[in-house]
Structure 1
Amino acid sequence: MSETLSRKPVDAGDINDAITGAHAALGGRQKDDGHWVFELEADATIPSEYVLLEHYLDRIDQEKQDRIGVYLRRTQCDHGGWPLYEGGKFDLSATVKAYFALKAIGDNIDAPHMKQAREAILDRGGAARANVFTRIQLALFGEVPWRATPVMPVELMLLPRTAFFSVWNMAYWSRAVIAPMLVLGSLKPLAVNPRGIHVQELFVRPPEEVRDWIRGPYRSVWGRVFKHLDTVLRPIVPMLPRKMHQKAIKVAIAFVEERLSLGGLGAIYPAMANVVMMYRALGVPDEDPRAATAWQGIQDLLVKKDNEIYCQPCVSPVWDTALSGLAMLEAASGPHATKRDETVAALKKSAAWLRDRQILDVKGDWAINAPDLRPGGWAFQYENDYYPDVDDTAVVGMLLHRLDPEENREAIERAREWIIGMQSTNGGWGAFDINNDLELLNHIPFSDHGALLDPPTADVSARCVSFLCQLGHAEDRPVIDKALEYLRAEQEREGCWFGRWGTNYIYGTWSVLCALNIAGVSHDDAMIKRAVAWLEDVQRPDGGWGEDCASYEGGAPGVYKESLPTQTAWAVLALMAVGQRESDAVKRGMSYLVSQQDEKGEWHEEPYNAVGFPKVFYLRYHGYKQFFPLTALSRYRNLSASNTGRVEYGF
C-alpha cells in the first residue's frame, strides 16, 4: 500500500516512555504468586450453552442468567443474529443457541431483538440447518429427534488405535468432547427444562417431518460416501450386542474419570458440560465428588464484570504467563532496561510457578503414538495433565532459558526432550498429538466443523524450531533442518504463512520469520525476501497492520479495515527478526504503536485475534494487546544498542 498518512516520527524518548508505561501496566497485572491470566473470550455460543446447561439440570441461577442475557443482547448484530467474531457475518448455529438461551432467560419472543433473530434464522432455512453440535443440543431438549444427529455409537470407544474411526485418530479436543457425548447419545436423556422452554418457532418445517438432516455442502465425494454409510449404519447400531454396548459405556466413563481434574475434562467448556450432563443422565447425584468437580470447573470459567457475565471456553494462564514474562524480560534487557532487578525478581516467581506446573509424571493421550517418550510439557490451563501442548511448552522453555538457564536447566531439558519426541514425520509439529492428520475423518457427517484433527502447522512448528535453536544443542540440528524443510514447503504463494492458532497470516509469518532467523537462514533467502515484501505490501496507510478472522473464510491475507496493536506488533517483530529494524515500515509501525497507547500504558482493540477452529470458533485473547506491543517496542529499542543488530532469541 503506497499511500501514507503523515505522522510525527517516533524518537527514542517516545519509545522509552511507551515501554515504561506498558511495563508498569503489565507488571501491575501479575498475580502475587507470579503468574498472569487474562480473559479469553469466544462468541455467543459458550455463554448460550451455559444458560441452557442450567436449564438442562434445573440448576437455574436467575441472577447469573440475567447478566448473561445482558451480554448476549449487547453482542447481537444489525443482521439480526450473532457472529463468530467481532464484525463477522451472521452465523446460524450461534444465533439459534443465543435465541434459545434468551428465551430461556425470559425474553419475550415478540420483543424486537427476538423477532429480528427469529426472522433471520427462518430466512436461512431455520434451525434444522444448524450444525451438528447445535442439533445435539436441540435433541437433548427434545426439540429435534435424535435422528437429526449423525450416527456416533458409543461402541467407537472400543475401537483400537489402528481402526479408521478410532477416537485415537482424532484430536485431543475431539476425544474429550466425544467420550461423554457418546454416552449421552446412547442414553438419550431429556433436559429437566423446568420452565418448559421450547423453540419450535425456529423451524421452517416441523422437525418430525424433516428427512434430510444430514446434507451438504460436502467437502469432497467422500462426504457423500460417509453420508451413505451413516444411512446404512442407522438400523444396524440398535442391533449391536447389549453386552458390547454396556462395555463401551463403561470404557467411555473410565476414559472421562481418568482425565477428570479440577480443571474439568480437557479443561475446555464443551467437554466439561458434556461430563456434567453425562453424570446426570447416569443418575450420579450432583453432590458426588465427580459431578461436583465437573460443575465447579465450569463455574471457574465465568467472567463477571459490571452488569454482565459470559463464559470462557477455557482459561490461558500458562500461555499468558509465558508471553507476559517474555515481554517483561525484553523490557528489562539492554542498556536502557526498565527496572531490571525488580523485573527479574518478579519473573523468578513466574518461573517457579511455571516449573511447578510442568507435567513430568503423567503420560497423556499423546503417548498413544509416542509410548517411550518421557513427559515434559506444559498445558495451556491451570490443570490439564493429560493434554500438554508443544506451543506452550516451547514458549515457556524460551522464557525459562532466557531468564536463567542454570536454575531452570532440568525443566528446560525435559521440555526439549518432549518437544523433539513430538515431531511428526513430515517435520512439523501439531499442537497436542503426533501425526494426527487422517484427513478423511474431516469428511464424516459428525465433522461438519472440519476440525476433528490436529495436524502439524507452521506457527506451532516455528515455535518449536525457535526453542530448539535458542538452546543451541548441535545434536538437534537434524530435527531443526527437517522442520525448516517443512516450513519452506508451507509458505503461501503470497509469501506469508498460515496462522492456525492466531489471526492469521500476519501471526503465522511472524512465527516463521522468528524461527528462520534464529535457525540461521540467510536474510537474503528468497523465502524471507518474499515474506518481507508481503508484510510491507499489507502495511496500512497509518503505519499499522490489521487482519481479522475473515481471512480464514476466503478474505485477503493480512488485510482489514483498520490497524490493530496486536497485528502491528507481530508484523514489526517479524520484520525486525530478519534485519529490517531500520526500515521505514518498522519505524512507521513503531510510531503507530506509540500513538495508540493510552495514558495507563495499555492498548485497546475489539476485533478477535485468534482462532479455535477456522470458520467455526474464534477467540479474543485480552492479553495480546498488552504484552505483544510491549515486546515489539522493547525489541526495537534493544536492537538499537545491539552490537550485531540481530535478534538473538527465538521469539
Structure 2
Amino acid sequence: MHELAVAEAPRGKILDTAIANAREALLSHQNADGHWVFELEADATIPAEYVMLQRFFGKRDEAREAAIRRYLRRLQEQEAPTAQGGWPLFHDGALDISCSVKAYFALRLIGDAPDAAHMVRARDAILAKGGAARSNVFTRGTLALFGMVPWRAVPVIPPEIMLLPSWFPFHIGKISYWARTVVVPLTVVNARRPKPLEPIGFDLRELFVQPPEEVREWPGGAHQQEPWATLFRALDWALQRAQRLFPRTHRARAEAACEGFVTERLNGEDGLGAIYPAMANAIWMYHCLGVPDTDPRVVTAWAAIEKLVCERTDGEVYVQPCLSPIWDTALASHALLEVGGEEAASSVKRGLDWLVEREITDVVGDWAWQRPDLAPGGWAFQYANAHYPDVDDTAVVALAMDRYRREHGPIGEQMDASVTRARNWVVGMQSKGGGWGAFDADNNYHYLNNIPFADHGALLDPPTVDVTGRCLAMLAQLEENGTKPAREAVDYVLAEQEADGAWYGRWGVNYVYGTWSALTALNAAGVSHQHPSMRRAVAWLEGRQNADGGWGEDGDTYPGKGGTRPDELSRPGVSTSSQTAWALLALMAAGEVDSAAVARGARWLLEHQNAEGEWDEDDYTGTGFPRVFYLRYHGYRRIFPLWALARLRNLQNGNSRTVSVGL
C-alpha cells in the first residue's frame, strides 16, 4: 500500500512505480500463446445447476461435489450477509429467491441435511420471501424436471415455434442470441418432460408456503406490462391445455428443426452459444430425443460443460457461465498500449496475433437474419462462437489493432484486413436510430418481454449506450467522425443521457460504466469538453465520488418495475478498483485531468494497490442481465486501474497519442 498525503497529486516516481508493478502483474497472466483469460464468476446459480445436471443423469463425483459445497456454503456465510441466510446475485446483495432455491437444492443433492443450521437459515429466508413458488421460470423448470412442481408451473413454449415464418410475431430470430440458444433445446425438453435417470430420494416441499401442487397462480415478471401480459397469459392458458393436441407430424418436424438448429451451432467443445445454460439444455434435448450417451454430439456437449469448471487452489470448485478470452485479451492490450514501452508492446503484439487467428470470417451467423447481405468479420466473446460474434468485442479488438499500428508500425496485411472487415461488419450491424446492440441488429421487439417465459425481462438485445460507445470510438479512431454512422451514433448517445447527467450501463454496473462508455466515445468523436452533456456528466461523477476518493455502485441501481430508478441510485456503493478506474477515464475524457476529483480517485487506486501490484475486488461490476444476473470479471481489477493510471501519467506528460485514440 502506498502512503500519500491527502493533498498530494499522484505523479512522478510514485505513479511510475504503481504502473510498473501493475504492468508486471498483468504480463504475468499472459498465456504462452499470447492471450489472456481470467476467471468469470457469477452467483451460486451456475454451480448449483451443474450439480443438478450431473445428478439428473446419475453422475456423481463426491470429491468435486464436496468442493462445490465449500464454495456454496462460503457464499452463504461470507458473501451474503444482507441475504439473511439465503444467496444473493452479487456480493453483499439481497436474497434472491431463484438463486437461493437452486443453491439449497444443490446442497440437498450433495448431502446436506435439511435440519443442518445453515440449511434451516436458508429455508427460513426463502419462506420469508414467499417460498419457492416465487422462483423464476427457469428455476421452476428445473424443479419440474425433478418432479418438485407440476409442469403447469412452467409456461409453454412449444417446439413448433421453429416452424413459424419470419414475419410471425414470435419468430425465433426476433429474440436475442442468448435466449435463442437457451430456448430452442428447452422447447423439446419441456414438451417431452423427462424424468431423472435415478430417483433422488427427497422433495423440496419444505421450501413452499403451500404445497406446490396447490399453487394456482405462478408469478410473472415484475417488468411485464398490460395489455400484453394478460394477452400472453391467456395464450399460455390455452397452450397448457393443447399440449397433447399438437399433430404428431408437426411435432416431429418441429423437434427435428430444433435438433438441427442445435447441432449446427454445437460449437465443438466450446458449446452451444458458448454459455452454460444453452450447453446444459442441449444435453437434455439430446437425451429427450433418444440420442445415446456415446454419440459424438453428446460427448462433445458434456466436454464443453467441463471446460467451464473452475478448480481453485483453496479447495473450492465453481462453474463459470462462459469464458471471456477475447474480451480479456483485447482489454489487456489496451491497458498495455496505454502503459507503453517495448516490453508491453511486444506482449500486445503476441496477443493481437492470437486474436487475428480467431476472427470469424467463414460463418454467416444468426445476425444475418436482420442483415442478410452483410459479410462476416468479427470476434466472439469466447474462444469460439462462430454463429454469434459480438459487436462490442469486435469494436474493441479493432481499436487495439489500429492503435498498435499507429504507434508501433505495420501489423501485416492479415491484421490490416481484419480491421477493415471488423469496421465494415460493425457499421453494417448499426440499428435504426444510430445505436448498436451486442449480437443482433434492430432487436427491439419489446412486446416479447411480456410472454410468461420472459419473466427475467432479458429476452432481447436492443441498442445500448455502452456498446454504441465502443462502436463510435472505433469510427472516431479510424478517422470517420464525419460519416453518417458516426453522426447518428453521436446523436443516439446524446439522446440517451439521463436527466441527472449519467448514462445507463447495460453490460457493466452501471451508471459509472455507461457514463465512462459515453464520455470516452464523445471525446473521441470530437464533442467539446464544454458541451452541456459533458458538463452534466462530469457533475454527476463528481457528485457520486465517495468520501474516500473512489467510486462504487452495485446491481441495485438498475431500474426496477416500469423502468423507474430505485432509491439506491442516490446511494453510492463501496468503492471498487474497476469502477474508480472507469470514473477516472471518463473524467479525463471530459478534460478533467487536473481536477481534484481525478487526483482523489487516482490516490484511492494507489492506496489500494496490493503487494502483487493488483487490486482486490469482491464486488460484481459486470452485468449479464440487469436485476437478474451479474458477473465478477476477475480481470477488471487487474486491467482498468492500470489503464487509468497510465492514461493519467500520459496526459500529465502531454502525451498526444493518448488523446488521439478512441478508448
**For this structure pair, what is the TM-score category when the shorter chain's length is used for normalisation?**
over 0.9
CA distance in 2, matches of 1:71, 1:254: 37
CA distance in 1, matches of 2:101, 2:622: 24
Query: Offset at 1:650?
Result: 1.1
Aligned with residue 527 of structure 2, among 497, 521, 528: 521
Query: Offset at 1:341?
Result: 1.8
Can you list the C-alpha shifts for 1:497-535, whole angstroms capped at 9, x where unaligned? 000000110010001101101101111110111001111
**1:366–1:433: 8 Å Cα contact kept in structure 2?**
yes
CA distance in 2, matches of 1:73, 1:291: 31
CA distance in 2, matches of 1:398, 1:597: 28
Aligned with residue 578 of structure 1, among 572, 582, 590: 590
- The letter of the residue matching 1:88 is G
Residue 351 of structure 2 corresponds to 350
**1:153–1:182: 8 Å Cα contact kept in structure 2?**
yes
- The letter of the residue matching 1:650 is G
Q: How does 1:254-333 map to 2 (within 5 A)?
A: 254-261=260-267, 262-305=269-312, 306-332=314-340
Residue 175 of structure 1 corresponds to 180
Can you list the C-alpha shifts for 1:570-620, whole angstroms capped at 9, x where unaligned? 001011112111111111111111111112111011010011111110110
Can you list the C-alpha shifts for 1:373-421, whole angstroms capped at 9, x where unaligned? 0100100000100000100000001111111264221010000000000
Residue 231 of structure 2 corresponds to 225
Task: Name the count of aligned residue pairs.
Answer: 639
Can you list the C-alpha shifts for 1:470-511, whole angstroms capped at 9, x where unaligned? 01146x611000111111110001101000000110010001
CA RMSD of aligned residues (A): 1.5
**TM-score scaled to structure 1, two decimals?**
0.96
Matched, 1:587 2:587: no
CA distance in 2, matches of 1:215, 1:582: 50
CA distance in 1, matches of 2:47, 2:632: 15
**2:223–2:457: 8 Å Cα contact kept in structure 1?**
no
Relative to structure 2, which stretch is displaced further, 390-399 or 222-231? 222-231
Q: Secondary structure at the match of 1:535?
A: helix
Query: Offset at 1:8?
Result: 4.3
Q: How does 1:228-247 map to 2 (within 5 A)?
A: 228-247=234-253
Query: Offset at 1:629?
Result: 0.4
Residue 450 of structure 2 corresponds to 443
Matched, 1:485 2:486: no
Aligned with residue 202 of structure 1, among 203, 207, 222: 207
CA distance in 2, matches of 1:235, 1:403: 61
Aligned with residue 630 of structure 2, among 613, 618, 641: 618
Residue 41 of structure 2 corresponds to 41
Residue 335 of structure 1 corresponds to none
- The letter of the residue matching 1:12 is G
CA distance in 1, matches of 2:611, 2:128: 46
CA distance in 2, matches of 1:67, 1:201: 25
Can you list the C-alpha shifts for 1:524-564, whole angstroms capped at 9, x where unaligned? 11011100111111111121111111111524447434211
**1:579–1:646: 8 Å Cα contact kept in structure 2?**
no
**2:220–2:455: 8 Å Cα contact kept in structure 1?**
no
Structure 2: 5+ residue stretches without partners? 561-565
CA distance in 2, matches of 1:10, 1:342: 24
- Describe the shift of the 1:217–1:328 C-alpha distance in structure 2 as closer, same or farther (beyond 3 A): closer
**2:156–2:236: 8 Å Cα contact kept in structure 1?**
yes
Query: Offset at 1:160?
Result: 1.9
Q: Secondary structure at the match of 1:235?
A: helix
**1:150–1:214: 8 Å Cα contact kept in structure 2?**
no
CA distance in 2, matches of 1:256, 1:322: 29
- Describe the shift of the 1:342–1:217 C-alpha distance in structure 2 as closer, same or farther (beyond 3 A): closer
Matched, 1:506 2:518: no
Query: Offset at 1:235?
Result: 2.1
Q: Secondary structure at the match of 2:623?
A: strand
Can you list the C-alpha shifts for 1:298-353, whole angstroms capped at 9, x where unaligned? 10101111210000000100000000011111111xxxxxxx22222222211110
Q: How does 1:101-140 map to 2 (within 5 A)?
A: 101-140=106-145
Residue 342 of structure 2 corresponds to 341
Q: Secondary structure at the match of 2:346?
A: helix
CA distance in 2, matches of 1:216, 1:74: 30
**1:214–1:227: 8 Å Cα contact kept in structure 2?**
no
Query: Offset at 1:643?
Result: 5.8
Matched, 1:462 2:474: no
Q: Secondary structure at the match of 1:618?
A: strand
- The letter of the residue matching 2:143 is L
Residue 71 of structure 1 corresponds to 71
Q: Secondary structure at the match of 1:182?
A: helix
CA distance in 2, matches of 1:147, 1:63: 36
**2:551–2:573: 8 Å Cα contact kept in structure 1?**
no
Relative to structure 2, which stretch is displaced further, 397-406 or 308-317? 397-406
Query: Offset at 1:213?
Result: 2.2
Residue 563 of structure 2 corresponds to none
Matched, 1:87 2:92: yes
**TM-score scaled to structure 2, two decimals?**
0.94
Query: Offset at 1:283?
Result: 2.2
Relative to structure 2, which stretch is displaced further, 354-363 or 532-541? 532-541
Residue 336 of structure 1 corresponds to none
Query: Offset at 1:204?
Result: 2.0
Query: Offset at 1:445?
Result: 0.6
- The letter of the residue matching 2:30 is Q
- Describe the shift of the 1:16–1:244 C-alpha distance in structure 2 as closer, same or farther (beyond 3 A): same
**1:505–1:558: 8 Å Cα contact kept in structure 2?**
no
Q: Identity over aligned residues, as a percent?
A: 51
Aligned with residue 607 of structure 1, among 619, 626, 641: 619
CA distance in 2, matches of 1:287, 1:446: 32
Relative to structure 2, which stretch is displaced further, 206-215 or 519-528? 206-215
- Describe the shift of the 1:643–1:388 C-alpha distance in structure 2 as closer, same or farther (beyond 3 A): closer
Query: Offset at 1:286?
Result: 2.0
**2:222–2:455: 8 Å Cα contact kept in structure 1?**
no
- The letter of the residue matching 2:630 is Y
- Describe the shift of the 1:185–1:535 C-alpha distance in structure 2 as closer, same or farther (beyond 3 A): same
- The letter of the residue matching 1:442 is N
Structure 1: 5+ residue stretches without partners? 333-339
CA distance in 1, matches of 2:174, 2:606: 47
Query: Offset at 1:282?
Result: 2.1
Residue 413 of structure 1 corresponds to 420
Aligned with residue 577 of structure 2, among 551, 554, 565: 565
Residue 153 of structure 1 corresponds to 158
Aligned with residue 628 of structure 1, among 636, 640, 646: 640
CA distance in 2, matches of 1:589, 1:214: 44
CA distance in 2, matches of 1:472, 1:300: 41
CA distance in 1, matches of 2:242, 2:110: 40
**2:221–2:456: 8 Å Cα contact kept in structure 1?**
no
Aligned with residue 536 of structure 1, among 524, 542, 545: 542
Query: Offset at 1:218?
Result: 5.9
Matched, 1:57 2:62: no
Query: Offset at 1:217?
Result: 4.5
Can you list the C-alpha shifts for 1:270-313, whole angstroms capped at 9, x where unaligned? 00011111122222222211001111111010111121000000
Q: Secondary structure at the match of 1:451?
A: coil
CA distance in 1, matches of 2:141, 2:570: 36
Relative to structure 2, which stretch is displaced further, 244-253 or 122-131? 122-131
- The letter of the residue matching 1:325 is S
